Chains A and B, each alone.
Chain A
């Protein structure tokens, strides 16, 4: 597997980039869907395509069956602030238009952190959950803008926190970025991300 901007994780934990971006994710191969409006995207992400969709913590190489097709989870590191889903899907020979990508990562905090906000961008629409709570939804045909969607103030637990995203693309490019902002709206950097064991 060879992606221009993505690599297989080679360490157990990764610190965020200089600007706090989360650069390690588990991404599921795309699911065909249609629609970018708020109501369409909300209906799409609330439909259970995969078992335990909102709580599953997958591992690199796990597969699920969706609409008769086997889809695999891949652990990836991005070199950039964003995860390029177009590159991801194309390299796997999968469609890039009218698709839904699920992404999951575990954020490890050294202590409880209050009044932090998840701040994301996506191409195109996306819905985000932190520890099972839906915290952001942005809709329509849009580009990935840093800190486009921002959540209300959240508390990250000491230890593991699960961040889950559903990114829906129409046509063209597709990618996303995510980071946390502290109570002064500055990027949070005091955490690591992990995706569990990565197959060789």
Chain B
């Protein structure tokens, strides 16, 4: 096969989808929700806003421009921490500003100066840039990490009632070295320090990658999975370059609740956007006490399997065994029951068997996976239909046909003859912390209740009220 054709086939096989719209940003802050919209702020006053976390547009710049801000919503205030060098690095200061809202159209949109919360005098072993603000969920204390390649990543305590430094004279704690863009999070008894290693700002030559260490206390020590302290440069890789994206940096936790965690970051170079620095949002998974970067769902053909029952979603038609029914006594005349036909049996495609499928709407159910056409689903992004953090809405069709999975108005499933674009035919896929997926329709006709795909019995799938703990609502996308 000629190289050009082969390359195209590989590209079509797994089309990763990047965020939509205006996503150019460098060093994005943690993404924060305000009145239902998502906001992030980057270096140089850049600002992005989104109604759904998928399509972004340019937002309003902060009054204080600087490097790599971070944001947190506490009580009725949004605190932003933004750094600036004072003259040459590593002399720098981090200032706090706050507002009651991030929405510039709100009458409450007004930024107040909060003063300096951390600084570096140009001689001490730190460069006070890249702030990361963290609220400890176990005791309500507020912390700031900061620092870059000159010297250490440092930790100071802030006052959660004011966002200011509790005591400007207290000694910052050194946590890590050889990294920047630090941020902290807490998960099931451990504190995790995320930090970016490697080089930024060199386009596709940027070796930027996000690493993590963990500690039992917010003050450290933070060790990686090999037991190497981050203060000696340790760090377990969370995410590096892949696909068409190079240079991962500036982790921010985006916890959507109900068992769905994601993280924001930027890529130094999105090759599909000419090597521009862009925002991305990825699922956050957990494995053996360590965070793992998930993938947003790629377009392709899949078996959709229930994690609980091990049976696969199928359109409710009588299946035909791949290669046709076996005659009594085996195939191929005289070869015997177990000897096979002697030559490869091609995959079953819908065209071979769909003549027997009824026209019109058909039900859906679960069944033992037998590699049959009615069990193979094509996942395709739907353009201009919106999305959710990290992904667009998808349609789910029987591979090789137009037949499309839809939610019915009694919160059950149907496979409609063709996709017509209604919200009941649009599907949201969120990756859960164990790597399995939650699948939910954009909406159910005549219903406001949020429902998700659920395996009620071994052979039946329905739409049920969300229960984040239920295994019945976890699904696997497997290569067919």
Q: Which residues does A use to contact B, with CB under 8 Å?
A: 37-39, 117, 119, 138-139, 145, 147-153, 181, 185
- The number of residue pairs between A and B whose CB atoms lie closer than 8 Å in the complex comes to 35
Q: In the complex, A147 Cα to B308 Cα: how many Å? A: 13
> Are A148 and B457 also in contact (CB < 8 A) when A153-B410, A185-B464, A185-B472 are?
yes
- List the 9 shortest-distance A-B pairs measured between CB atoms, nearest first: A150-B457, A150-B460, A38-B318, A147-B457, A150-B456, A148-B458, A152-B412, A148-B459, A149-B459
12 residue pairs A–B, Cβ–Cβ below 8 Å: A147-B457, A148-B457, A148-B458, A149-B459, A149-B460, A150-B456, A150-B457, A151-B460, A152-B410, A152-B462, A153-B411, A153-B412
Q: Which of A39, A145, A150 has the most CB of B within 10 A?
A: A150
B459 CB contact (under 8 Å) in A117, A138, A152: A138
Q: In the complex, A199 Cα to B362 Cα: how many Å? A: 45
Binary A-proximity of B365-403 (CB < 8 A = 1, otherwise 0): 000000000000000000000000000000000000000
Min distance, Cβ A27 to any Cβ of chain B, angstroms: 23
Q: In the complex, A150 Cα to B411 Cα: how many Å? A: 15
Is B456 in contact with A181, judged by CB distance below 8 angstroms?
yes
Q: Which residues does B use to contact A, with CB under 8 Å?
A: 317-318, 410-412, 456-460, 462, 464, 472
B456 CB contact (under 8 Å) in A37, A38, A139, A147: A147
Given A119-B456, A153-B411; 12 other pairs, CB 8 A cutoff: A37-B318, A38-B318, A147-B457, A148-B457, A148-B458, A148-B459, A149-B459, A149-B460, A150-B456, A150-B457, A181-B456, A185-B464
B318 CB contact (under 8 Å) in A138, A139, A148, A153: A139
Q: In the complex, A18 Cα to B306 Cα: how many Å? A: 27
Q: In the complex, A39 Cα to B317 Cα: how many Å? A: 9
Is B410 in contact with A150, judged by CB distance below 8 angstroms?
no
Residues of B within 8 A of A139 (CB): 318
A150 CB contact (under 8 Å) in B317, B318, B459: B459
Q: In the complex, A117 Cα to B472 Cα: how many Å? A: 16
Residues of A within 8 A of B317 (CB): 38
Q: In the complex, A149 Cα to B456 Cα: how many Å? A: 9
> Are A145 and B458 also in contact (CB < 8 A) when A38-B318, A139-B318, A185-B464 are?
yes
Residues of B within 8 A of A149 (CB): 457, 459-460
> Are A39 and B456 also in contact (CB < 8 A) when A152-B412, A152-B462, A153-B410 are?
no
Min distance, Cβ A62 to any Cβ of chain B, angstroms: 32
Min distance, Cβ B364 to any Cβ of chain A, angstroms: 11
Min distance, Cβ B436 to any Cβ of chain A, angstroms: 19
Residues of B within 8 A of A117 (CB): 456
A185 CB contact (under 8 Å) in B411, B456, B459: B456
Which residue of chain B has its CB nearest to the CB of A38? B318
Residues of B within 8 A of A37 (CB): 318
Q: In the complex, A119 Cα to B309 Cα: how many Å? A: 15
Q: In the complex, A152 Cα to B408 Cα: how many Å? A: 11
Q: In the complex, A139 Cα to B319 Cα: how many Å? A: 10
Residues of B within 8 A of A38 (CB): 317-318
Q: Which of A145, A152, A153 has the most CB of B within 10 A?
A: A152
Q: In the complex, A156 Cα to B72 Cα: how many Å? A: 51
Which residue of chain B has its CB nearest to the CB of A41? B318
A119 CB contact (under 8 Å) in B411, B457, B472: B457
Residues of B within 8 A of A150 (CB): 456-457, 459-460, 462
